[in-house]
């Protein structure tokens, strides 16, 4: 399965591969994409890990994770989510 990364900095695929290797999942980088052996991990678990990494980098409000059947696509949101930004303002 491929994880196609669009509109993100080049270090995101490297961080994702590092995170997957810590969890014991074999992954490699091909261009801007990350390739994972689908027999080792479920699609839902992989999607959750990608979302957690986005949340860790505080990019969850700006990007979303889509599935197109064979691949997962990390894409910038057309309409940014406002909810998270308001929560940050209230905390500060």
How do the pLDDT tens digits run along the chain, 92 residues long? 788 777 666 677 888 888 888 888 888 888 878 888 878 788 888 888 888 888 887 777 777 788 887 888 888 777 766 665 555 555 55
Q: List domains and CATH numbers for the chain.
A: 2-91 (3.30.1360)
Residues 23, 29, 30: CA angle, nearest 5 degrees: 150
CA–CA distance, 87 with 54 (Å, rounded to integer):
17
CA–CA distance, 73 with 32 (Å, rounded to integer):
11
């Amino acid at each position: 399965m491929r994880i196609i990364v669009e509109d993100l900095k080049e270090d995101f695929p490297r961080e994702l591969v590092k995170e997957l290797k810590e969890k014991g999942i074999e992954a490699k980088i091909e261009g801007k994409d990350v390739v994972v052996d689908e027999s080792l991990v479920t699609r839902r678990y992989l999607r959750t890990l990608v979302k957690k990494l986005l949340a860790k980098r505080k990019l969850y409000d700006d990007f979303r994770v889509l599935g197109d059947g064979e691949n997962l696509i990390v894409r910038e949101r057309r309409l940014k989510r406002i909810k998270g930004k308001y929560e940050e303002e209230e905390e500060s």
